[in-house]
């Protein structure tokens, strides 16, 4: 399971403040803390309050890289900001994200190719978020077709089935699980799959419990990556145990401690 830490996001008040005050110490500490507990990449999002997304994203990328070496997941709806982040990055990047609309793919796939970045594409388009599995598959097929047309390596393509909140789209969650498995069977080698995990519990009381319950299921359906809060210890314990049950890591009696020790440098 590829873990993308979600905490460097301007929707969190402290991150927004750090961005405003250019408080690199706070951002670097938040980057380090996530990697120390197991994040293998970090999402970087300026948030809705940023008045200079291009400059802020570049500043975040430059400062995070002073602390950690992991891939950065450049998260913005503004393609100029993403390109600025790509220019400033010396690590592998993941672009987060394109939609399935042809005009978007025609911009984002060449951009990802130019910078040898991975690319997350949401299985949604101008018509909105799919209401069922068939529509998700239809959009996935369009995305894959575009990747082939641009000779973009499918192993660098992350399809995101768009995880919806349980309090508004409870009847879609099983479809989303099955979509993960179906997406992976569409190409050889398989495309990758990713979800923004915390979305499932937006507006719910039992956020951590709902998050880890879905994550474990999704791991068993072949999910490759998740954007999540690596500081949620119970979530991480579930994730590590799911990888163990799925035979992705080798069993030992103290497998939790072994995992944690392997992260501390």
Region of 33-41, 75-83, 137-145, 242-250 interacting with a second copy (CB under 8 A): 242-250
# binding residues, a second copy (CB under 8 A): 34
Structural tokens at position 140: 């996935």
| Near a second copy by CB under 8 A: residue from 114, 145, 174, 233 | 174
Residue found by looking up tokens 């990697």 in the block: 35
Whether omega for the bond prior to residue 189 falls within 30 degrees of 0, making it cis, is yes
Closest distance to a second copy from the beta carbon of 262 (Å): 17
Residues 239, 258: Cα–Cα separation, whole Å: 14
Long-range contacts of 239-243 (CB under 8 A, 24+ apart): 239/1, 239/3, 239/212, 239/215, 240/38, 241/216, 242/1, 242/215, 242/216, 243/1, 243/219
226 near a second copy (CB under 8 A): no
- The neighbour count for residue 69, using CB atoms within 10 Å, is 10
Is 247 among the residues that bind a second copy (CB under 8 A)?
Answer: yes
Among 213, 231, 258, 263, binds a second copy (CB under 8 A): 213
Select the residue interacting with a second copy from 49, 141, 186, 209 (CB under 8 A).
209
Which one among 126, 128, 188, 251 touches a second copy, defined by CB under 8 A? Answer: 251
235 binds a second copy (CB under 8 A): no
Q: Please measure the distance between the N-terminal and C-terminal CA atoms of the chain and give it in whole angstroms.
A: 20
> Which residues are at the interface with a second copy (CB under 8 A)?
166-167, 170-171, 173-174, 177, 200, 204-206, 209-210, 213-214, 216-217, 219-221, 237-238, 241-242, 244-247, 250-251, 253-256
């Amino acid at each position: 399971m590829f873990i993308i830490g979600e905490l460097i996001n301007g929707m969190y008040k402290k991150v927004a403040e750090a961005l405003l005050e250019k408080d690199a110490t706070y951002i670097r500490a938040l980057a380090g803390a996530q990697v120390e507990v197991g994040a293998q990449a970090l999402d970087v999002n300026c948030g809705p309050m940023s008045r200079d997304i291009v400059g802020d994203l570049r500043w975040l990328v430059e400062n995070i890289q002073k602390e950690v070496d992991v891939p950065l997941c450049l998260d913005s709806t503004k393609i100029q900001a993403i390109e600025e982040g790509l220019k400033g990055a010396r690590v592998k990047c993941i672009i987060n994200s394109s939609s399935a609309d042809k005009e978007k793919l025609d911009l984002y796939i060449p951009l990802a190719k130019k910078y040898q970045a991975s690319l997350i594409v949401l299985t949604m388009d101008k018509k909105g978020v799919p209401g069922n599995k068939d529509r998700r598959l239809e959009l996935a097929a369009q995305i894959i077709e575009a990747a082939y047309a641009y000779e973009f390596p499918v192993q660098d393509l992350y399809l995101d089935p768009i995880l919806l909140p349980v309090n508004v789209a409870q009847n879609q969650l099983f479809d989303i699980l099955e979509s993960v498995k179906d997406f992976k069977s569409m190409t050889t080698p398989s495309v990758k799959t990713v979800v923004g995990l915390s979305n499932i519990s937006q507006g719910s009381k039992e956020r951590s419990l709902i998050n880890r319950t879905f994550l474990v299921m999704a791991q068993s359906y072949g999910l490759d990556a998740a954007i999540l809060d690596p500081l949620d210890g119970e979530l991480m314990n579930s994730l590590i145990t799911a990888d163990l049950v799925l035979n992705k890591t080798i069993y030992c009696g103290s497998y939790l401690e072994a995992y944690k020790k392997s992260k501390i440098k």
